[in-house]
Amino acid sequence: MFYTVKELVEQSHAFPSVAALMVHTEVENSTRTEEQIRHLMSRNLEVMERSVKEGIAGVKSVTGLTGGEAKKLNTYITDQQFMSGQPIMEAVRNAIAVNEVNAKMGLICATPTAGSAGVLAGVLLAMRDRLHLSHDQQLDFLFTAGAFGLVIANNAGIAGAEGGCQEEVGSASAMAAAALVTANGGTAEQAATAVAITLQNMMGLVCDPVAGLVEVPCVKRNALGASQAMISADMALAGCISVIPADEVIEAVNRVGMQLPATLRETGEGGLATTPTGLRLKKKIFGKA
């Protein structure tokens, strides 16, 4: 078992990959076999695929606050109007698709939470064909993400209510960045660097859902989290380093999260939630300000 990124990286050297270490850890800490664990992860992947497809086709949330933007982005990408790279735009589209499905109360895979479910699925589905990932390699992508996510969860947090969106979308983005590094042939050390780069650039991000719902600005934060993950992965693969080690960055994120006031931790009592428009929407949905 590993409890820090340093331990994760060191222990991974005794296995073919970080993913293999994570599967071994799951076997040790559960009553399941490796085959059962990989089967369960395969089901998670299927849910991710369906949610992306459903969201791109076009959905609307129960409240009407969000929906239809993944479909707009898909048209935008098809028309070749975009200014950033196509892989990033597809990851952004996919991330929004998943979170729009979540907002309509559809089935998604919480990775690590429902509110941040779009990031990992968005990045993986945008890159799997480009990296020629087999089904097993896609599962390894998810296991790698889970390994780094486990460390973040144990040393900081993964919920906006606990430590702001830096810990929710931030952790999802760091997980995706690490997994993308290894999927593209990078080392465990480079994956750790991608985690550090991602988290330090999302540190301080507050959780301020309008009307207390996981819609605004949550859906678009997943989109930007997906793009951050891809940029961080590229930086790590290019040989860029993080001056502050990943474990120290995670510790700093934890401290910042504890310092955030309750108004900025998913209560809907600060930030965008208390703008005039945010309050108007809350009243429209719930009948009170």
Helix (H, G, I), strand (E, B) or coil at 283: helix
Exposed / middle / buried, residue 190 (Cβ in 10 Å: 0-12, 13-18, 19+): buried
Q: Which two tokens stand for residue 45?
A: 């992947």
**Using alpha carbons only, how large is the chain's radius of gyration in Å?**
18
Going along the chain, which residue ranges are E strands? none
Give the mean model confidence (pLDDT) for residues 47-52: 98
Tell me the pLDDT tens digit for each residue of 170-181.
999 999 999 999
For 83, residues 6+ apart whose C-beta sits below 8 A from its C-beta are: none
Tell me the pLDDT tens digit for each residue of 189-234.
999 999 999 999 999 999 999 999 999 999 999 999 999 999 999 9
In whole angstroms, what is the distance from residue 159 CA to residue 167 CA?
A: 6
Of 204, 196, 192, 195, nearest to 167 by C-alpha is 204
pLDDT mean across residues, the chain:
97
Give the mean model confidence (pLDDT) for residues 232-252: 98
What pLDDT shows up at residue 261? 98
| Confidence grade of residue 289 (pLDDT, cut at 50, 70, 90) | low
User: Which amino acid makes up residue 182?
Assistant: T
Asked if pLDDT for residue 276 goes beyond 80, the answer is yes
| Confidence grade of residue 288 (pLDDT, cut at 50, 70, 90) | low
Asked if pLDDT for residue 81 goes beyond 60, the answer is yes
Of 110, 129, 106, 126, nearest to 118 by C-alpha is 110
- Would the pTM count as exceeding 0.75? yes
Contact 47, 109 (CB under 8 A): yes
Contact 247, 193 (CB under 8 A): no
Percent of the chain at pLDDT > 70 equals 99
| Confidence grade of residue 64 (pLDDT, cut at 50, 70, 90) | very high
